[in-house]
Amino acid sequence: MKGAGQSRGVIRTLREMASRPSGAIGLFLVLLHVFIAIASPWLVPFDFKAISASLILSPPDSTHWWGTDHLGRDVLTRTLLGGREAILVTLVATPLAVLWGGFVGIYLGLVGGKLDDVLMRVVDAFLALPWILKMLLLIATFGSGIEVLIPTLAVFYGIPVIRIARAAAHNVVARDFVLAARARGHGRLAIIRRELLPNVLDALMVEGAMRWSWMLLAFSSLSFLGFGVSPPTPDWGLMVADSRTFLAIAPWSGLYPIVALSSLIIGINLTADALAKTLGVDRAQKAPI
Amino acid sequence: MLRMILRRLMLGAITVGLVSLIIFAAVEALPGDACTALLKQDAQGQRLLNCRQELGLDRAAPLRYLDWASAALRGDLGFSAHSTKRISVLVADRLKNSLLLGITALAVGLPLAFIAGILAALRRDKWLDLVLSALAIGAMTIPEFVSATLLILVFSGWLGWLPGIVLTPADAPLSKFFPEIILPVAALAMVMTAHILRTVRSSMIEVLDSDYVRMATLKGVPYRTMVWRHVLPNALLPAINVVALTVAWLLGGVVVIEMVFNYPGLGRLMIGAISDRDLALVQAIALIVASVYVVVNLTADLLTLVANPRLRTAAGRRT
Amino acid sequence: MPLIDIRDLSIGFASRAGAMLPVLRNIDFQIRRGETVGLVGESGSGKSTLALAAMGYLKTGLQVMGGSVHFGEHEMFSLSRPALESIRGGEVALVPQNSGQSLTPTLRVGRQLLEAVALHSALPPAQHAHRVTELLRQVRLPEPETIAARYPHELSGGQQQRVAIAMALAGEPDVLLLDEPTTGLDVTTQAHILELLRDINRQTGTAMVYVSHDLGAIARVCDRVVVLYAGEVVLAGSTRQVLLTPAHPYARGLLASIPRLSEASLPSALPGRPPMPGGAGAGCSFADRCGLAEPTCRSSRPPLLALADGASTRCHFHERTSELVVTRPKLSAASAQVAGLAPALTLDGLAISYARANLLQQLLGRRPDVPHTVADINLRVSAGETIGLVGESGSGKSSILKAVAGLNPPVAGQLGLGGGDALAPNVDQRPPDHLRRIQLIFQNPDDSLNPRHTVAEILAQPLQLYFGLSGDALHARSVELLERVRLGAHYLDRLPSQMSGGEKQRIAIARAFAAEPDIVLCDEVTSALDVSVQAAVLELLNELKRDKGTTYLFVSHDLAVVRALADRVAVLYQGRLCEIGPAAEVYATPSHPYTEVLLGAVLEPVPDKAPILLADDIVELAPPAQGCPFQRRCPKKVGDICVTTAPPWQMAPSGHGICCHIPRNQLMPSDMEAQGHD
């Protein structure tokens, strides 16, 4: 007999996730990062813009615990602040992406037909273009402020969600209880809301977690290439890019942001994994976008 | 079965067509055009109008699309506004370089991924599996620019074994790229191997748990024979699709790696083209990359069709 | 010395909390050379686990808690892998339950057989291919070379099963273990395969362990029967002993709950359901459901007692088993008065097609030129009547139900409801009243209930949709419905995963009746349930019909179940009606040749009763373009007229109609009855 109650409350899900080692570590890392992202302006010891010609690339010591970068700025400060924009943007864009992509995907999964055929061709065509091309074209046109990045990321990353939601919906639509609902005469919207959504939600949530991690990757990669956040705003990607030339002699200027970014992404992945196992979702490993 | 192949080919062609439309429309929507990029500050007034007339940019969009599309089919991708060279020539060099990078990465990564994935599944939950899976997850989750940077730091900066940046020019013959290509290939192969390893592993596990493998065991088939004859053919089939996705990604998504290592490939060219607003070049690269993606996926689809007996005899599919 | 000797075997798995939950307890089981033993049990009895354990195989998570399994001198669970590999397939072979999934999809059938032969046969390699052909012939597969070249998915269910048997015989094993080998197969196919097994046993002396829940099949194949309940042997003896004089209340109850062809009344149900692993308390595992239960039964576990006649039973009070009164409830009186009442549902010339037009045809606006999947269905169902639709796979019976429900628009013909209203072909076009009056119950309760909805939510849907109920009124009505299906109000908060198959089906029934329908469409509603639970569900359906006067369209492949419930029966073959009429007349003679084949193939749990195999068991994929649908398999085919002309309906005054070219008075039982096997 299966474990009692599949519709657990949020608290119970979290608790069960935390009982797994991957879940515990993952949740801790994610929450830590989110906390720092929110609270860092009040925690940091220095001004992130403060340049100092005399302190260029100085190693970690008692004043600058994590050393300074090539412009004499405090690495600790900039690392703590470096995730703010990335986390803010992606944390808003991810639910938007999952929402719109999920709804379209579920609808297509239920309805099928010509609309489905046409739209999936368009989705395929869209996904055939490398993500960076699409992002850069938009940024080149409209700039890289968060008012551009959030909708762009939400739209672009919602499209793969359509595919996944559609596949999940297909699995559910084939089952008798959906047929039973149709036979009773329930309308399409009611069927989506009552029959499909609760059964697809789990897969969508796990997918949402993974989307978040890929969005962060994209965001940092863009900043790394110089197309994302503009200096002097601290950002991990940007910091890694800046530190590249000096990495051999001053590894701290690049390693700390690397650890910060990697720990967040690993944390999200571990959380997604634990979530998938707790909810019983079968996670197919897909390449990002 | 012929019908299924034709159908797939047709769908592929439609996708490429759609892609070209999307690209064209997107580029059209951007402010500025080839003339503003060419003339830069002088792009105004009569000079602008003349330029536009000369380049045929004053005609209606659908006409220009058809022109561009038909030329592209013939292999003529126009001229780069920035360097005034023929795009096909520019792209050809970079394409060959990217292909070198991609194919080398595949040659290194694929066998590794398959062997590791198979072993991890056969020794499920034992220490080998745990180590391999952890490594794979690590390689997958760490951003490419991070792993590339770290590789340079360790192998070029600290150990000094390998060059960290590629200095060979774009049009150099392929052999000149060695040994500079080692680190980029390593960075690429890391991510690729991780993805394929995970897929192969989960596919193997699914097959190992299946009814027919249990039946083979209960039939008395020796373990090794069973793995070779009953497990592998069934487990590796789904891997074809992931390999296809990865191959397509290699070509298009390795931009970051090319930037980090300064490798003269298609990705770096694309970034440059966007920065310079060289729209014709952007269009051309996008079309090429998308076409490769479609072709690779098509090949994977067809391979799966051929290899999977259930799909092959679709006419006889029942029961 | 017995071939397989199982002593005091206990197998279990570790629960989440760490306790060991037993799946099998203290099993003693032996089989000798040439014997055929049946292992009977329902879900949770552990019968499959036992069969696999005889080969030294345990599913992941299971462990041996005690006891031993000996094959000859070898203790199966302590053997090395090479030794196991040599015994498995060679001396003990398994015929699995679902052959379609047990054959490797990427290897041709012949290749897999060759593998089995190469592993276990003493023949030189040059003769292996020939042996494969021999084996295929032994299992009566026509054109063995063609079959050998095919892939598993290209074969029908029956063919796959025969291949599995051939593969098992490749090593000329001493024992065959058969795990529900005929589940999911058509009645006629099943009968043929069982005859094949009997012949193999007689010709080669191979012993057989036949695991099944189907006492009819076991009656046909086995000399001895062992009955398992909740992981224990509760009764063992010869087939005659177990079937005619069962010395255990469970066996008695089980036999009584099986519907019989000869009886026009409902079987009597066993209350409750089998316990989960580890669920049995300190006493007898059957105590909760037993009519003879006393305090002793709940406190002390009965030992397996050897009886004077050679049988053994695990019951404190086995001498009193015959006292158990088995009442077979008569069919409701209302059912007898259906003639002449207003029709509740009419089907006029209904035809359904699944063929899809290809591109060219779509462009030209034409339909594909294949015979319809279902055609010429004319049915007039009176109010309060129960019409049984019987047939095998491909008969179209489920398609007809779905068409009536509006889920499968017919390609021709009309549907009519009650007092002359036309019934729109598509659900989307029907007014709410029509939707309410027709309700559908599905076969698989695991699938027909949304796993995320509680019972309260499931029942609320029709109540809100059709009656606009909410709040207290909704709650009260839901509780009422639950009580009507004999489930308490405490079920409201439960999820489907917390309920058994029988309970879920009751909820599905409650949901259907919540709409106060005129017509309930039952699509194989008892086929997925345990035998002892089936009877209870049938009883419930009957009660509801009696109280509300509901009309049933009852689809089933199980002729005995239909006999128990239906007033009229319609027999379908390849989507066409063959015979229709009052149940008693359809089940008696004269019959349509196909009905005769169907009835003859039914296996009853009666020893020494041979099925009558008339037609072969080819599965037809599509109906013929013209003439009688049964023309290719009919043992009484008259001649070309059967192929060229559609047969006429011959109606008797009672409403009993047979669609055949042969005149009624000549459609008496076939001469072959005298030649039936045994």
Q: What is the pLDDT of residues C444-499, one digit of tens each?
A: 998 999 998 999 999 999 999 999 998 999 999 999 999 999 888 889 999 998 88
For C183, phi and psi rounded to 5 degrees?
-65, 135
Distance CA B175, CA A79 (A): 41
Mean pLDDT for C302-314 is 89
Cα torsion through C69, C70, C71, C74, rounded to 10: 120
Mean pLDDT for A94-115 is 91
Distance CA C352, CA C403 (A): 8
Q: What is the pLDDT of residue A282?
A: 61
User: Cis peptide before C635, with omega less than 30 degrees from 0?
Assistant: no
- For residue C224, pLDDT over 70 is answered with yes
Q: Which residues in chain C (424-453) have CB-CB distances under 8 A to chain A?
A: 427, 430, 432, 435-436, 439-440, 442-444, 447-453
Distance CA C61, CA C361 (A): 55
Distance CA A195, CA B319 (A): 29
Of residues A126, A130, A213, nearest to B22 (C-beta): A126
User: Cis peptide before A251, with omega less than 30 degrees from 0?
Assistant: no
Amino acid at B244: A
Residue C346: left (phi > 0), alpha (psi -120 to 50), or beta? beta
**What distance in Å separates residue C493's CA from the closest CA in chain A?**
10
**Angle between helix C531-548 and helix C249-256 axes, rounded to 10 deg:** 50
Mean pLDDT for C129-140 is 92
Contacts of B252 in chain A (CB under 8 A): 129-130, 132-133
Q: How many CB atoms lie within 10 A of CB C132?
A: 28
Q: Establish how many alpha carbons lie within 13 A of residue B185's alpha carbon, considering only the half-sphere containing its beta carbon.
A: 21
Q: Which residue in B has a C-alpha nearest to residue A266's C-alpha?
A: B141
Mean pLDDT for B244-273 is 81
- For residue C616, pLDDT over 90 is answered with no
Contacts of C106 in chain B (CB under 8 A): 233-234, 237, 308-309
- For residue C334, pLDDT over 50 is answered with no
Residues found in chain B = 319
Distance CA C50, CA C209 (A): 10
∠ at Cα C597 (C591, C602), nearest 5°? 110
∠ at Cα C111 (C109, C114), nearest 5°? 110
Q: Where are the alpha helices (DSSP H) in C335-450?
A: 359-364, 397-405, 432-437, 445-448
Q: Give CA separation, C393 vs B241, B266, C183, in Å.
A: 36, 58, 13
User: Cis peptide before C590, with omega less than 30 degrees from 0?
Assistant: yes
Verify whether the Cβ–Cβ distance C88 to B222 is below 8 Å: no
The encoded tokens of residue B33 equal 């055009």
Q: What is the pLDDT of residue A117?
A: 86
Mutate to test the interface with A, among B14, B33, B137, B146 (most CBs of A within 10 A): B146
Q: What is the pLDDT of residue C356?
A: 76
Q: Which residues in chain C (456-515) have CB-CB distances under 8 A to chain A?
A: 461-462, 465, 495, 497-498, 511, 515
**What distance in Å separates residue C489's CA from the closest CA in chain A?**
18
List C552's β-bridge partners, or say none: C386, C520
Q: B176 exposed, middle or buried (CB, 10 Å; 0-12, 13-18, 19+)?
A: exposed
- For residue A286, pLDDT over 50 is answered with no
The encoded tokens of residue B283 equal 């269009």
Of residues C88, C98, C115, nearest to B218 (C-beta): C88
Of residues C435, C440, C495, nearest to A180 (C-beta): C440
Distance CA C265, CA C328 (A): 6
Q: Is A240 on the interface with B (CB under 8 A)?
A: yes
Residues 6+ apart with CB under 8 A from A49: A73, A232
Distance CA C379, CA C403 (A): 13
- Average the pLDDT over each of A3-17, B143-157, C9-23 and give the range with the smallest value: A3-17
Distance CA C272, CA C340 (A): 40
Distance CA A160, CA A287 (A): 11
Distance CA C660, CA C373 (A): 20
Distance CA A38, CA A16 (A): 26
- For residue B315, pLDDT over 50 is answered with no
Mean pLDDT for B86-101 is 83
Q: Is C404 on the interface with B (CB under 8 A)?
A: no
Distance CA C481, CA A19 (A): 40
Mean pLDDT for A235-259 is 87
Per-residue pLDDT tens over the stretch A67-84: 888 888 888 888 999 899
Per-residue pLDDT tens over the stretch C484-540: 998 888 899 999 988 888 899 999 999 999 999 999 999 999 888 888 888 889 989
Q: Establish how many alpha carbons lie within 13 A of residue C436's alpha carbon, considering only the half-sphere containing its beta carbon.
A: 14
Cβ–Cβ < 8 Å for C239, C246? no
Verify whether the Cβ–Cβ distance A287 to B242 is below 8 Å: yes
Q: What is the pLDDT of residue B229?
A: 93
Distance CA C317, CA C272 (A): 20
The encoded tokens of residue C218 equal 């076991």
Work out the pLDDT band at B318, boundaries 50, 70, 90: very low
Beta strand C4-14 with C207-212: parallel, antiparallel or unpaired? Answer: unpaired
Work out the pLDDT band at A249, boundaries 50, 70, 90: confident
Residues 6+ apart with CB under 8 A from B288: B91, B95, B266
Identify the H or E element spanning B39: helix B34-39
Q: What is the pLDDT of residue A61?
A: 83
Distance CA A190, CA C460 (A): 14
Identify the H or E element spanning B202: helix B182-208
pLDDT, greater one: C529 or C207? C207
Mean pLDDT for B274-281 is 78
CA neighbor of B86 nearest in space, from B96, B75, B97 = B75
Per-residue pLDDT tens over the stretch C572-593: 999 999 999 999 889 987 789 8
Q: What is the pLDDT of residue C600?
A: 85
- For residue A20, pLDDT over 60 is answered with yes
- For residue A4, pLDDT over 70 is answered with no
Q: What is the pLDDT of residue A5?
A: 38
**What distance in Å separates residue A3's CA from the closest CA in chain B?**
22
3-state secondary structure of C349: strand
Work out the pLDDT band at B30, boundaries 50, 70, 90: confident
Starting at the earlier edge strand, list the strands of the sheet with C576-582: C438-441, C519-523, C551-556, C386-390, C568-573, C576-582, C657-659, C649-651
For A242, phi and psi rounded to 5 degrees?
-60, -35
Beta strand C36-40 with C224-229: parallel, antiparallel or unpaired? Answer: parallel
Residues 6+ apart with CB under 8 A from C449: A177, C458, C496, C504, C507, C508
Mean pLDDT for C210-222 is 90
Work out the pLDDT band at A6, boundaries 50, 70, 90: very low
Verify whether the Cβ–Cβ distance B27 to A136 is below 8 Å: no
Q: What is the pLDDT of residue A126?
A: 83
Contacts of C89 in chain B (CB under 8 A): 218-221
Q: Which residue in A has a C-alpha nearest to residue C439's C-alpha?
A: A184
The encoded tokens of residue A284 equal 């197919």
Q: What is the pLDDT of residue C327?
A: 66
3-state secondary structure of C570: strand
Work out the pLDDT band at B81, boundaries 50, 70, 90: low
Q: Give CA separation, A74 vs A71, A245, B46, in Å.
A: 9, 18, 53
For B222, phi and psi rounded to 5 degrees?
-60, 150
Handedness of CA A183, A184, A190, A192 (dihedral sign): negative
Residues found in chain C = 678
Residues 6+ apart with CB under 8 A from C281: C287, C298
The encoded tokens of residue B235 equal 């487990």
The whole-chain average pLDDT of chain B stands at 82
Number of H helices, E strands in chain A: 12, 0
pLDDT, greater one: B232 or A62? B232
Verify whether the Cβ–Cβ distance B143 to A122 is below 8 Å: no
Distance CA C379, CA C114 (A): 52
Mean pLDDT for A109-132 is 85
- For residue C426, pLDDT over 80 is answered with yes
Distance CA C160, CA C444 (A): 24
Distance of alpha carbon C291 from the chain centroid: 27
Q: Does the predicted TM-score (pTM) go above 0.80?
A: yes
Mean pLDDT for B146-175 is 80
Q: What is the pLDDT of residue C166?
A: 93
Verify whether the Cβ–Cβ distance C407 to A182 is below 8 Å: yes
Verify whether the Cβ–Cβ distance A4 to C498 is below 8 Å: yes
